[in-house]
Amino acid sequence: MGNSALKAHLETAQKTGVFQLTGKGLTEFPEDLQKLTSNLRTIDLSNNKIELLPPLIGKFSFLKSLALNNNKLTALPEELCKLKKLETLHLNGNHLRQLPASFGQLSALKTLSLSGNQLRTVPTQLSGLRHLDVVDLSKNQIQNVPDTVGELQAIELNLNQNQISQISMQISHCPRLKVLRLEENCLELSMLPQSILSDSQISLLAVEGNLFEIKKLRELEGYDKYMERFTATKKKFA
């Protein structure tokens, strides 16, 4: 892409606060964007070939939304965690194995999408994010859900299409968790904590495509309690 095209995009972004350049085969984060660190609220560089997010990302202190879906990122810089106003982060379809240690400092984060990466566990850093609403960790390589999940503030957690065979009972202590998606994993019925049914806030539990028949779920203790929450929620949205 020529300089004049990039220049036009930068001029538009200066007025609108939105920089969107998707599907252009970019191999690196446009350095020229640092001229707009105080202007930009939204950056979308999805469907490119970017391998590295440079430390200068930490300078975009007013950024609310960052999308880098379908790139070639293998890691994220610690500087990303300086973005105190960031509410939405979309990183689907990259090669991420872990999150930066200080990821829990993204205090405004509400929506986090990490579908189609190479995560092996639910990152412990997520438990520190107080405003998190939706977390999508589907299509990763997660094998177990650790105890720290009990502190997760999210309303919806998507763990579909992983390799999960173990889930901590702490998941039933998530204070705001209403929707838990666990479809197409490696769960035996005996490994599903019954407290999810009997003693949690969860009103939608999706577990199709595991190592048990769905009708067996209905025989578990606490299923009636779960159905009460499920029905009450359905009525609310009907």
Of 97, 105, 50, nearest to 79 by C-alpha is 105
**Contact predicate 63/37, CB 8 Å:** no
Structural domain boundaries, residue 125: 1-236
**In this predicted structure, what is the pLDDT of residue 2?**
65
Q: Output the domain CATH number for residue 8.
A: 3.80.10.10
Its pTM stands at 0.96
Give the distance between the most distant pair of CA atoms in the chain.
Answer: 65
Beta strand ranges found along 54-212 (DSSP E): 65-67, 88-90, 111-113, 134-136, 144-145, 156-158, 166-167, 179-181, 204-206
The CA distance from 43 to 36, in Å, is 11
Q: How many domains, in total, are found in the chain?
A: 1
Ramachandran bin of 98, using left for φ above 0, alpha for ψ from -120 to 50, beta for the remaining angles: beta
| The pLDDT value given to residue 6 | 84
Can you give the pLDDT at residue 5?
A: 79
pLDDT by position in tens, the chain (length 238):
567 778 888 999 999 999 999 999 999 999 999 999 999 999 999 999 999 999 999 999 999 999 999 999 999 999 999 999 999 999 999 999 999 999 999 999 999 999 999 999 999 999 999 999 999 999 999 999 999 999 999 999 999 999 999 999 999 999 999 999 999 999 999 999 999 999 999 999 999 999 999 999 999 999 999 999 999 988 877 6
